[in-house]
Amino acid sequence: MQKFTRILLVVCLIFSASWANAQSLGIPAGEFQIQGLTTDVRLEAHLEVENSNNNDLFVLINCDRSLLNPAHQTYYCWALCYDTTVCNSPDPLIVAGRSTDMNSFHSYIYPNGVAGSSTITYTFFDQNNPTDQASASITFDVLTAGVNEVSKGSLSTAIPNPANSFANINYSVPALKNGKLVVYNMLGTVVKEYRLTNTQATVLLSTSELSSGVYVYSLINDGKSVSTKKLVVAHH
């Protein structure tokens, strides 16, 4: 009986250790690349953070800015938006058990008119179990805007891409005339259309009702296509 009890105790301890070391946090994709122009005031990236644990987690962030272009400035929002001098989040955000936080994290850079690349790596971890963590690297590629690009306008890469329920798309045009953002499926059929009311803004594109697959979206101004990019919709 004592031998059985000892075996049972060992099994319980092993199970407890395995449970404690289990990874609950995840990010759907580990690397993200955002492209913009030197004329863009700000570039933005969005991450979704998953919690596969049954329990709520108090999640903090550490960041690595060692590959940040010296001419660029960066900051992020984790529910609260922090100053450019803050790299590690001072306050945790609760990510509910068995859920995905799709809206709280945003990373930004100010190109300040300088072409070049900046990569920031963010590590999300459980405050009560720091080994439970997930990391993602975001690379912002800032390209020099040519004369034609500046005169016509610009269209950003969708964030996130692939998208599950939504995607953020930034655009800018020098003058707006019957401007719209149009989404097409691979057959060329219009599946969504957004009328634009400002020369520079962010369009929140809902993708939850779109089937998983490949789409393209175009910035149309004055009846002409300014720019077209690809969007992948992938439902979890």
Domain boundary among 145, 163, 193: 145
Same domain? For 105 and 152 the reply is: no
Segments forming the whole domain that contains residue 131? 23-145
How many separate domains does the chain show? 2
What pLDDT, on the 0 to 100 scale, is given for residue 222?
Answer: 86
pLDDT in tens, the chain (236 residues): 544 444 333 334 333 333 345 789 999 865 688 888 887 777 888 888 999 999 999 999 999 999 999 999 898 989 788 888 899 999 999 999 999 888 889 898 988 888 899 999 999 999 999 999 999 999 998 888 765 555 578 888 888 888 999 999 999 888 898 999 999 887 778 899 999 999 999 999 999 999 998 888 889 888 887 887 888 899 87
Residues 141 and 61 placed together within one structural domain of the fold: yes
**Structure confidence at residue 117 (pLDDT):** 92
- 34 plus 89 within the same structural domain: yes
Distant-in-sequence, close-in-space partners of 7: CB < 8 Å, separation ≥ 6: none
Verify that 129 and 155 share a domain, yes or no: no
Supply 125's token pair.
């971890």
Residues 57 and 96 in one domain: yes
Domain annotation covers residue 140: yes
Same domain, 103 and 156: no
| Residues 79 and 39 sit within 8 Å (Cβ to Cβ) | no
Identify whether the C-beta of residue 233 lies closer than 8 Å to the C-beta of residue 210. Answer: yes
pLDDT reported for residue 185: 84
The per-residue pLDDT for 18 is 39
Domain edge (last residue) among 117, 145, 173? 145
Collect all residues with Cβ–Cβ distance below 8 Å to 151 and sequence separation of at least 6: 174
Q: Is residue 132 part of a domain?
A: yes
Handedness of CA 3, 9, 10, 11 (dihedral sign): positive
Which of 100, 123, 145 is the endpoint of a domain?
145
d(CA 136, CA 124): 9
In a domain, 16, yes or no: no
Based on the domain organization, do 37 and 133 belong to the same domain?
yes
CA distance 68 to 142: 12
Res 86: pLDDT: 92
CATH of the domain at 179: 2.60.40.1930
Domain check: are 100 and 213 in the same one? no
Clarify whether residues 136 and 153 are in a common domain: no
**50 and 163 both lie in a single domain:** no
Query: Positive or negative CA dihedral for 159, 161, 166, 170?
Result: positive
Could you tell me the pTM of the whole model?
Answer: 0.59
User: Within the chain, what is the greatest distance between any pair of CA atoms?
Assistant: 85
Q: What is the CATH number of the domain that holds 134?
A: 2.60.40.10
